[in-house]
Structure 1
Amino acid sequence: MMNSINTNSGALIALQNLNSTNSELSTTQGRINTGKKVANAKDNGAIWSMSKMQSSSSSSLNSVKDSLQRGQSTIDVALAAGDTITDLLSKMKEKALAASDTSLNTASFNALKADFESLRDQITKAATNAKFNGVSLADGTTASLTFLANADGGGFTVASKTLSLVGIGLAAGSTFTDAATAKTMIATITTALTTATNKLSSLGTNSVGLDTHLTFVGKLQDSLEAGVGNLVDADLAKESAKLQSLQTKQQLGVQALSIANQTPQSILSLFK
């Protein structure tokens, strides 16, 4: 090996190795600081792009969950109105049955008739006021509602189940005038009660469907987030061990460079 005071090959090699160690150390420290092995496009362009797309899909699902939860609330309000309406229909049937008794005097009959009509009017109020966020599935003002089902804008459609008087088969002014018409009204109310419960059953099925899909969307979002973590998150235990190794390697590199820098001084001894 040639000895030269102009070119110190050993020092150049030591410096290259030290620079390489410092670069690795900087990368490892960055991973420990951010907790990510791919923090930006410079680290790994393909993985970074993939993680960003998946993160975007996961974030979009928040809007889907909000929409589905709004759908749940809208159906719950309609179901609450339906429960009230079926209770009112049961009471109306009771009043009509009592009024069909031919032994009643006029005052008692009129009292039962007034109670029946009051209950009838309450059905209209319950159906009309069954709104969530200004939207109702019970008053017949809308044919159906469509809520978000996925990040691509797909929909989950819920058909309206009209629970107004007309919707359950009762005329707006349904009443009875004597015992005979009161007896006829019993069958009409029974039919209306059957119609109302069938519509409520359908709404209940839709509600279960929304619950199931909401649960699925939550699991999907968790899976996407876990997948992104697998792509970009750093193994901190591994990085910690590597940090210790690189710090030791850095110290040795500094010493090696120091020794290499002293080599030209040995040439002086040749001239003594």
Structure 2
Amino acid sequence: MSSILTNNTAMVALQTLKSINSNMAATQNEISTGKSVSSAKQNSAVWAISKTMESDVKGFKGISDSLALGSSTVSVARSAAEQVTDLMTEIKGKIVSAQESNVDRDKIQKDVVALRDQISTIVGSAQFNGLNLLTNREGGATVAQIVGNTGAGAGVMGSGSVDILASLDRDANGSVSASSISASKADLGTQASTAGTGTDLAATAFTGAGAIAAGATGTMTVVGDTTTAARAGNRVIAGDGYTIGGLTGVTGTVRYVARDGDTVNDIAKGLADMLNFQAEKSGIAITATVSGGALSITNGTSAGITTTSTLNTGGTAGGGLEILSQLDVSTEQGAKAALASIEGLTQTAVSAAADFGSVQGRIEIQAEYVDSLMSSMKSGIGSLVDADMEETSARLQALQVQQQLGVQALSIANQAPQSILSLFR
């Protein structure tokens, strides 16, 4: 049946042409954006995954920048520590020369002072973007946050390390956490410590102080401040000055002022190093060894000694090479004391350089991994949402032909009612 009111053929042709035009618009959108999924309405699941991965790529770009900054900072510290190690080797050579009785020790001492001053210059300038890993007397950092250590034997004014952002970890639930590479500071300064004027904080800062008979060994244990409520139980705080007195015949001060992140073990070792140096310098047969936080003092003299201990607040920590500032090879006894101490000081610098080298190597490996990971993630995102341009081009040409044929079909269908006029002639 023919009708001038309803043209079914034209309606079919029109719907076909609309479908072709819709596919044409979608194909042109893929060509213009380069993506097969450019909005959530096209494929919400794929779009959500791609956006999550894109945000991760942005995050890893920030991590890459952090690793680059951290690597540069550690590299400066490592290079400086290596230079300090070389200078310590030269100082050791001077000290060995001073052991001879027929040398001019005064001139050798001038050389030692010059080398020591050069070490101070290197350490003072070994900073990158304001952060110096070769000093550890105050908190603060620019590479990453410094997290304070708490708990047994820990300080609260800083951790003695910096955390360099290294990765973003996403679990199966979608939760994201950051992980870091820790770079420990290594204080290679030569500055002397300054005693504080604050009063003793707790009688339990040391245990075991007392008389040591000739030829006997006494043990003093550093426990820190464990009783002062105002400190919330923190055992070691930077600026605390631990002093051992009563060492008959030892003229120099046996003191250690805590720096950021020090534990009771660090304090015991610092006190032992200073006691051994000062005793050797004074020609007194008193020696100290350390096991954990326990400081064993052996009295090799012919008379008894009585050790005392104090702990004061508000001091300024000395450098890790503090003893270097007290070396004096101008006398025979001073030369002997210097020789006894120089190996330990040299190893301090060697250990610092080695530790920085290890950290820098790890940072560089992580940086390479992050770059590779970002490339893989970008490739994965592309496989999800990027348009196949060869296929899209072929589809566009086919749709253009279909569109032309659809227009022709609609035109033919619209002309069909014209044939009804012939019935009325």
Q: TM-score of the superposition, structure 1-length normalised?
A: 0.92
Aligned ranges 1:18-167 → 2 under 5 Å: 18-104=17-103, 108-141=104-137, 143-151=160-168, 152-165=177-190, 166-167=319-320
Q: For 2:386, which of 233, 238, 261 is the aligned residue?
A: 233
TM-aligned CA deviation for residue 60 of structure 1:
1.1
Mapped partners of 2:24, 2:423: distance in 1? 40
Is structure 2 residue 253 aligned with structure 1 residue 254? no
TM-aligned CA deviation for residue 173 of structure 1:
2.2
TM-aligned CA deviation for residue 103 of structure 1:
2.1
Once the two structures are superposed, residues 68-107 of structure 1 have per-residue CA deviations (whole angstroms, 9 ceiling, x without a partner) of 1111111111111111101111111222223323222xxx
Residue matched to 2:202: none
TM-aligned CA deviation for residue 241 of structure 1:
0.4
54-63 or 235-244: which moved more? 54-63
Contact kept in structure 1, 2:24 and 2:399, CA below 8 Å: yes
Aligned ranges 1:185-204 → 2 under 5 Å: 185-204=338-357
Mapped partners of 2:128, 2:361: distance in 1? 18
Contact kept in structure 2, 1:89 and 1:193, CA below 8 Å: yes
Q: For 1:219, which of 355, 358, 372 is the aligned residue?
A: 372
Contact kept in structure 1, 2:108 and 2:330, CA below 8 Å: no
Contact kept in structure 1, 2:87 and 2:115, CA below 8 Å: yes
The structure that is helix-richer by fraction is 1
Contact kept in structure 2, 1:93 and 1:186, CA below 8 Å: yes
For the residue of structure 2 that corresponds to 1:117, the secondary structure is helix
For the residue of structure 1 that corresponds to 2:162, the secondary structure is strand
Mapped partners of 1:172, 1:95: distance in 2? 15
Mapped partners of 1:198, 1:148: distance in 2? 24
Q: Which runs of 5+ in 2 are unaligned?
A: 140-159, 169-176, 191-318
Contact kept in structure 2, 1:97 and 1:183, CA below 8 Å: no
Contact kept in structure 2, 1:51 and 1:231, CA below 8 Å: yes
Contact kept in structure 1, 2:133 and 2:186, CA below 8 Å: yes
TM-aligned CA deviation for residue 168 of structure 1:
4.4
Mapped partners of 2:28, 2:328: distance in 1? 82
- Aligned residue type for 1:128: G
Mapped partners of 2:71, 2:328: distance in 1? 35
Once the two structures are superposed, residues 200-251 of structure 1 have per-residue CA deviations (whole angstroms, 9 ceiling, x without a partner) of 1111111111111111111221122111111111000000000010000001
Contact kept in structure 2, 1:100 and 1:178, CA below 8 Å: no
Higher normalized contact order (CA 8 Å, seq sep 6+, divided by chain length): 1
TM-aligned CA deviation for residue 114 of structure 1:
0.5
Aligned-CA RMSD value: 1.7
- Aligned residue type for 1:37: S
Q: Which runs of 5+ in 1 are unaligned?
A: none
Once the two structures are superposed, residues 25-69 of structure 1 have per-residue CA deviations (whole angstroms, 9 ceiling, x without a partner) of 111011011101111222222222221111111101121111111
- Aligned residue type for 2:358: T
Contact kept in structure 2, 1:100 and 1:180, CA below 8 Å: no
Mapped partners of 2:61, 2:323: distance in 1? 42
Mapped partners of 2:4, 2:121: distance in 1? 102
